[in-house]
Amino acid sequence: MQDFKVNKSTEFLFIVVSVFVLLALSLVNIKNYSATSKVLGIETEENITEKFWVDFLSKNPNYVQGWVEIGRLDKATAINPNFQTSLNN
């Protein structure tokens, strides 16, 4: 087998480049790991539900159960005077 002799400056350059590449990869990895990712369902279900009922009631204003869902019992009893809950008994 032949022994290869490497020039000292070439060896130093190889070490410096290797360290630089490792540091660059580490920084990229840390950046990707610590980046906040979007989470599906980050919106609360209450906001989505309330938005649905408000949109639905703008098209169907006489739907009593929709007014109950968003907490407007006065509007529900105005539409249907026979409507009763445990709150207004």
Could you state, in order of their start, the residue ranges of all structural domains in the chain?
45-79
Q: Residue 41's pLDDT is what?
A: 60
DSSP string, 19-70: HHHHHHHHHHHHHHHHS----TT-S-HHHHHHHHHHHHHHH-TT-HHHHHHT
pLDDT tens, the chain, 89 aa long: 567 777 888 889 999 999 999 999 998 888 877 776 666 666 556 667 788 888 999 999 889 888 888 888 888 888 888 877 655 44
- Which residues are CB-neighbours of 52 under 8 A, at least 6 positions away? none
Q: Tell me, yes or no, if the pTM score tops 0.75.
A: no
Q: Residue 1's pLDDT is what?
A: 56
Q: Side chain identity at 53, as an amino acid letter?
A: W
Instruction: Tell me the two tokens of residue 23.
Output: 């540091």
